[in-house]
């Protein structure tokens, strides 16, 4: 059984035991120290650790960043050996995905750690959260790693339609925040229904969670698929603990959250939000976005503010959104195209995707790419799709480059599709939200597509696998 974490604190303990967390004990300035350390941790190149700041000048509580910021931390999140390869983590996630749904365990309010302290008047976010700008030209203080809980106003008690998502949140005042709800996000569907009747949309913003809650909140699953039930699946079948919010019986939050902000989205109100340094590695500009009024805060004693740094890849957000984008897209393709072997959608949240597939007949690779571009996530996000043969590892960029340089005839294998949906935060969209897609077929032609130069692939010499194991063992013994 894989290791399962009740909350963020248990995970941080394991990261520290595994040498994947650094404690900064001296007092630091909120700016630029915290963001600079987040960028610096990402720059280390190998075994990037989480960074825990115990003392923040001007604030009462601590901050942790880069919690998901390495493949080692990502593996430990799954409760497996920290040296597990990226490809093996993909297949481990894929295996656990099939255990969905695992219903969560609803605990009593008095038993939930997130209810240890309650603030229901004189709300002041600045007293609870050590806020800071993540990048220098951000329009304000941002909460970049919250798991946001909302429900469908038409079916408020339908647990399958309860949404747990990750959206950027700008602090506007001591009890108001702005939130970005783009049209392709589930929260936008719920907000549209509420605003059609000029009603507020109840919301709970949870900060500092079990790492798999954060992971699932940023995962593109179906509107009718509950993220908490996925967490149980990814915990190898162990249900997670949730609790009702104080203000809304139909909203459930992780019982072990460090901080829960309860409130409502104000209907039909839009104010300027941004700019913000976004995941494509550039500032997003400012737009009119909806606002949330915070009516109640519950928090653990000495809460930990978990936030992430976003910058030019790779940073923590790229690790967080890598495999949880790849696996759902793989599952959706595999349903109708069983020849698909793996999907690598790790690049800027699936704006770039590499698909490995067996080619059944001529033109099949393009069909696979078109199928990806019709999925709920692929339609707005994916822009460049590369399709390679089943014997090419899509997670091995050396092999992918080999396929591109030896299999692609630019005159026939590169397809351009204009006037498609695009991700508005991608700075190359014009206008924002519209784009041109590109498909690159880097597979070997099969009939009826002509193959004018048939080639025979080089096979590894006999005994290669045995020698791989022997050399690994010798290397391990040498490094003891």
d(CA 72, CA 206): 25
Closest among 85, 95, 94 to 328, alpha carbons compared: 94
End-to-end Cα spacing for the chain: 28
DSSP β-bridge partners for residue 242: 106, 254
- Choose the catalytic residue: 92, 195, 258, 278: 278
d(CA 383, CA 163): 26
CB–CB of 2/75 below 8 Å?
no
d(CA 227, CA 208): 16
Is position 258 annotated as part of the catalytic site?
A: no
d(CA 133, CA 171): 10
CA 261 and chain centroid, separation: 21
Residues in the chain, overall count: 480
Q: What are phi and psi of 128, to 5 degrees?
A: -100, -35
Sign of CA dihedral 32, 33, 38, 40: positive
**Cα–Cα distances in angstroms (integers) from residue 249 to residues 6, 105, 204, 245, 461, in the given order:** 22, 15, 11, 6, 64
Question: Could you tell me whether strands 287-299 and 176-179 are parallel, antiparallel, or unpaired per DSSP bridges?
Answer: antiparallel
Buried-state track 223-245, b at ≥16 Cβ within 10 A, e below 16: eebbbbbbbbbbbbebbbbbbbb
Number of CB atoms found within 10 A of residue 59's CB: 18
* Side-chain-facing half-sphere of 359: CA atoms under 13 Å: 22
User: Cα–Cα–Cα angle for 263, 129, 192, nearest 5°?
Assistant: 30
Active site residues: 278
């Amino acid at each position: 059984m894989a290791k399962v974490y009740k909350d963020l604190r248990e995970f941080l303990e394991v990261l520290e035991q595994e040498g994947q967390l650094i404690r900064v004990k001296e007092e630091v300035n909120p700016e630029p120290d915290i963001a600079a350390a987040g960028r610096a941790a990402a720059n280390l190149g190998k075994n990037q650790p989480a960074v825990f700041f115990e003392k923040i000048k001007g604030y009462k509580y601590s901050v942790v960043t880069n919690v998901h910021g390495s493949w080692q931390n990502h593996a430990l999140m799954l409760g497996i050996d920290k040296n597990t390869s990226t490809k093996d983590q993909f297949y481990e996630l894929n295996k656990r995905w099939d255990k969905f749904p695992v219903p969560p365990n609803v605990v009593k309010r008095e038993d939930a750690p997130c209810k240890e302290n309650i603030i229901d008047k004189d709300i002041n976010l600045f007293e609870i959260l050590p806020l800071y700008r993540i990048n220098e030209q951000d329009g304000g203080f941002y909460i970049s790693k919250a798991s946001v809980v909302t429900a469908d106003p038409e079916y408020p008690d339908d647990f399958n339609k309860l949404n747990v998502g990750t959206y950027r949140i700008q602090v506007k005042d001591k009890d108001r925040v702005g939130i970005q709800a783009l049209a392709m996000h589930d929260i936008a569907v719920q907000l549209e229904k509420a605003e059609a009747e000029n009603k507020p949309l109840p919301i709970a913003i949870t900060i500092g969670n079990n790492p798999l809650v954060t992971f699932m909140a940023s995962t593109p699953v179906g509107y009718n698929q509950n993220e908490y039930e996925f967490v149980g699946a990814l915990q190898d079948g162990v249900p997670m603990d949730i609790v009702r919010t104080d203000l809304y019986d139909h909203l459930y939050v992780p019982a072990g959250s460090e901080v829960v902000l309860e409130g409502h989205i104000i209907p039909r109100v839009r104010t300027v939000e941004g700019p913000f340094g976004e995941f494509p590695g550039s500032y997003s500009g400012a737009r009119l976005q909806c606002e949330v009024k915070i009516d109640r805060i519950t928090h653990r004693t000495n809460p930990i503010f978990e936030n992430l740094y976003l910058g030019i890849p790779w940073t923590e957000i790229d690790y967080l959104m890598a495999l949880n984008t790849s696996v759902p897209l793989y599952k959706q393709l595999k349903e109708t195209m069983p020849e698909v072997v793996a999907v690598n959608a790790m690049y800027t949240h699936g704006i770039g995707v590499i698909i490995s597939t067996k080619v059944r007949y001529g033109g099949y690779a393009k069909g696979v790419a078109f199928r990806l571009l019709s999925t709920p996530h692929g339609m707005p996000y994916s822009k460049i799709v590369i399709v390679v043969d089943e014997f090419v590892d899509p997670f091995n960029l050396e092999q992918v480059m080999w396929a591109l340089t030896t299999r692609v005839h630019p005159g026939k294998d590169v397809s351009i599709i204009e006037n498609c949906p695009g991700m508005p935060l991608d700075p190359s969209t014009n206008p924002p939200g519209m784009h041109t897609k590109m498909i690159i077929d880097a597979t070997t032609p099969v009939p009826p597509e002509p193959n004018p130069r048939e080639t025979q692939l080089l096979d590894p010499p006999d005994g290669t696998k045995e020698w791989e194991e022997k050399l690994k063992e010798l290397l391990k013994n040498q490094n003891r």
